[in-house]
Amino acid sequence: MTQHLADRTEPNGPGTESRPDWWRDAVIYQVYPRSFADGDGDGMGDLSGIRSRLPYLAELGVDAVWLSPFYASPQADAGYDVADYRAIDPMFGDLHDADALIRDAHDLGLRIIVDLVPNHSSDRHEWFQRALRQGPGSPLRDRYHFRPGKGTDGELPPNDWESIFGGPAWTRTTNPDGTPGEWYLHLFAPEQPDLNWDNQAVHDEFRSVLRFWLDMGVDGFRIDVAHGLIKEAGLPDMGQSGQLRMLGTDVLPFFDQDGVHEIYRSWRKILDEYPQQRIAVAEAWTPTAERTALYVRPDELHQAFNFHYLNTPWGADELRQVIDSSLDSMRPVGAPTTWVLSNHDVVRHRTRLGGSLARARAATLLMLALPGSAYLYQGEELGLPEVVDLPDEVRQDPAFFRRAGHHDDADDGQDGLRDGCRVPIPWTAQGSSFGFGDGGSWLPQPPAWGKLSVAAQAGDPAATLELYRAALAIRRTQPALGAGDGVEWLATPPGVLAFRRRSACGGTSLGAPPGRSPGEESGGNTAVVCAVNTTDKPVELPDVLTPGGSRLLASGPWPAGTVLPADTTVWWGE
């Protein structure tokens, strides 16, 4: 099947063939398949819907598209519970749709990155079902973490680990004869049993799955919970509760264990067997940026998400500090730093940063001026806010149900849980589900979203969509943006951040965005200055926006002169 489907496996659209190291400064757009576009009108997004919108993504100017999982799945965690790693869930389409999507994307010059979920499978996966049927002592149980319970009758979980979604990380099974049985580990929902990466069959299976999708022509993988695969030997107790609050800051026996790196070294060898630089990006929650850098050593994965950046509040000092520490930590291993503001697991950055669209736009222009690769989440280019008033009866995030009554750890958005950032995209100003599809949408869209739709914004120079388009067009033609591994900080008043990015090619013209000739507006610049005012007052920046330079782009209205308005980022060509 794969062989037949994939007789053309490489990106061949404009600009893709001749870009070695394409991933180092790539802008990668995350599509959440159930919420992007619905081709068959069942209220749920699908591959044919995504395919029909690929020209929109090409026109937006991104380099690659990362698709959250579309595999066969009972959808206990929106597809992050995979029942068959080589099949498409019927609600999203089939393998022919996936093949057509990859081909179309490549024809448009877009690369495709798929999500790989190796930490756990679905409890409906054949492996888990067989392990359950065969009962305690079966070697098939060794592919997961089955353990007898503690207490006199095994009625207590084997250790004190807590699920990321709330409650214990263990669920007790029932034996084939109906008696209470062993427990199994699930760091996420009970429908997501953790795989045991000390078992060789697990290694063999995932190497084969990697090859399956590489043969289909994908350009890379986003590795889900890349930090979780290896657990500390003996599964020792944590000795304390509230473990969720320790994620990303503390050393944990189930996350970021050194043994994970051996796995990624073996995967890198497979990726390198394929032409055109196939890549992998780690979702790795680790206590420090230095620990994250270990995942992207030259013989491991290519990129890791920079969650420290995502979690940084809107303040000049904090931003400068995280930018420096991010760049400093990646430099020794030679990997590009990544930047991300929004994804399907967090409150959309417009809402997270305080609700102001001006600030969200300023944050985006800052991110897109930084060296390395940037990740966009579908809908942020429309300035979509988090939906904070979804009624309980439409909620689907398993964390919502597991944490019911325990929402105290949420301080933004609706309750810090994840349905509010997953509401389907508005494409048209009117009509059923604003053009998402003909059959409504699986989560209700706010009535005001027609005004934020693609159709309402396209062509309006003041619209957020046009800001993203302009920024990405400039980024493509200005090597000073995106490239390199450092920034040159400029002196600024408090609350303001400014840095210069220089082109590696020295004094030559950096070219101009499409539709402009070199030297016009971009002024044949050899460097770009990015200046950010994080305060709520305008500031004068005569030493930063120097005479002789030219305006490239601003995240909001920018009066003539050297004043930078509140919550505004500007790009200044030198």
Comparison of 256 and 283: residue with beta carbon closer to ligand GLC: 283
Comparison of 19 and 344: residue with beta carbon closer to ligand GLC: 344
Comparison of 142 and 345: residue with beta carbon closer to ligand GLC: 345
Comparison of 220 and 435: residue with beta carbon closer to ligand GLC: 220
SS3 content of the chain, % helix, strand, coil (to 5): 30, 15, 55
**CB 399 to ligand GLC: min, Å:** 8
What residues are paired with 550 via a beta bridge? 573
Are 61 and 45 within 8 A, CB to CB?
no
Task: Give the active site residues.
Answer: 224, 273
Please give the residues from 164 up to 193 whose contact with ligand GLC meets the rule CB under 6 A. 188
Comparison of 188 and 314: residue with beta carbon closer to ligand GLC: 188
**CB 139 to ligand GLC: min, Å:** 26
**CB 377 to ligand GLC: min, Å:** 11
Comparison of 36 and 188: residue with beta carbon closer to ligand GLC: 188
**CB 430 to ligand GLC: min, Å:** 32
What residues are paired with 127 via a beta bridge? none
In this structure, how many other beta carbons lie within 10 angstroms of the beta carbon of residue 1? 12
Residue 391: partners with Cβ closer than 8 Å, 6 or more residues away = none
Give the span between the Cα atoms of 232 and 545, in whole angstroms.
53
Comparison of 80 and 314: residue with beta carbon closer to ligand GLC: 80
Please give the residues from 117 up to 156 whose contact with ligand GLC meets the rule CB under 6 A. 117
Count of CA atoms in the C-beta half-sphere (13 A) of 573: 23
DSSP readout, 351-388?
HHTTS-HHHHHHHHHHHTTSSSEEEEETTGGGTPPPP-
Which residue of the chain is nearest ligand GLC when measured via CB?
Answer: 80
For Cα atoms 412, 415, 420, give the angle at the middle one, nearest 5 degrees. 90
Comparison of 308 and 500: residue with beta carbon closer to ligand GLC: 308
**Binder to ligand GLC among 67, 108, 225, 296 (CB under 6 A)?**
225
Q: Report if residue 402 touches ligand GLC, rule: CB under 6 A.
A: no
**CB 153 to ligand GLC: min, Å:** 31
Comparison of 156 and 247: residue with beta carbon closer to ligand GLC: 247
Give the span between the Cα atoms of 101 and 238, in whole angstroms.
45
Give the span between the Cα atoms of 139 and 143, in whole angstroms.
8
**CB 376 to ligand GLC: min, Å:** 16
| Residue 189 main-chain phi, psi, to 5 deg | -75, 160
Give the span between the Cα atoms of 531 and 570, in whole angstroms.
5
Please give the residues from 530 up to 569 whose contact with ligand GLC meets the rule CB under 6 A. none
**CB 107 to ligand GLC: min, Å:** 29
**CB 89 to ligand GLC: min, Å:** 15
Type of residue numbered 258:
D
Are 539 and 563 within 8 A, CB to CB?
yes
| Contact code string over 266-305 relative to ligand GLC, x by CB under 6 A | -----------------x----------------------
Are 386 and 413 within 8 A, CB to CB?
yes
Q: What is the b/e burial string over 311-327, where b = at least 16 CB atoms within 10 angstroms of the residue's CB?
A: ebebebeebbebbebbb
Comparison of 207 and 344: residue with beta carbon closer to ligand GLC: 344
Q: Report if residue 77 touches ligand GLC, rule: CB under 6 A.
A: yes
Give the span between the Cα atoms of 285 and 412, in whole angstroms.
20
What is the separation, in whole angstroms, between the first and last Cα of the chain?
54
Are 231 and 257 within 8 A, CB to CB?
yes
**Binder to ligand GLC among 32, 70, 71, 80 (CB under 6 A)?**
80
Q: What does the DSSP 8-state code read for residue 43? A: S
> Which residues of 125-268 form beta strands (DSSP E)?
146-147, 170-174, 180-185, 220-223
* Residues in binding contact with ligand GLC, number by CB under 6 A: 9
Interstrand relation of 180-185 and 488-489 (parallel, antiparallel or unpaired) = unpaired
What residues are paired with 162 via a beta bridge? 168
Q: Report if residue 345 touches ligand GLC, rule: CB under 6 A.
A: yes
Give the span between the Cα atoms of 79 and 121, in whole angstroms.
10
Comparison of 195 and 294: residue with beta carbon closer to ligand GLC: 195
| Residue 172 main-chain phi, psi, to 5 deg | -85, 140
In this structure, how many other beta carbons lie within 10 angstroms of the beta carbon of residue 200? 10
**CB 292 to ligand GLC: min, Å:** 15
**CB 414 to ligand GLC: min, Å:** 16
| Contact code string over 205-224 relative to ligand GLC, x by CB under 6 A | -------------------x
**CB 285 to ligand GLC: min, Å:** 8
Residue whose tokens read 């210069």:
500
Burial of 153 (0-12, 13-18, 19+ CB in 10 A): exposed
Query: Which of 75, 93, 35 lies closest to 444, judged by CA?
Result: 35
Give the span between the Cα atoms of 3 and 278, in whole angstroms.
18
Using CB under 6 A as the criterion, which residues of the chain lie in contact with ligand GLC when the complex forms?
77, 80, 117, 188, 224-225, 283, 344-345
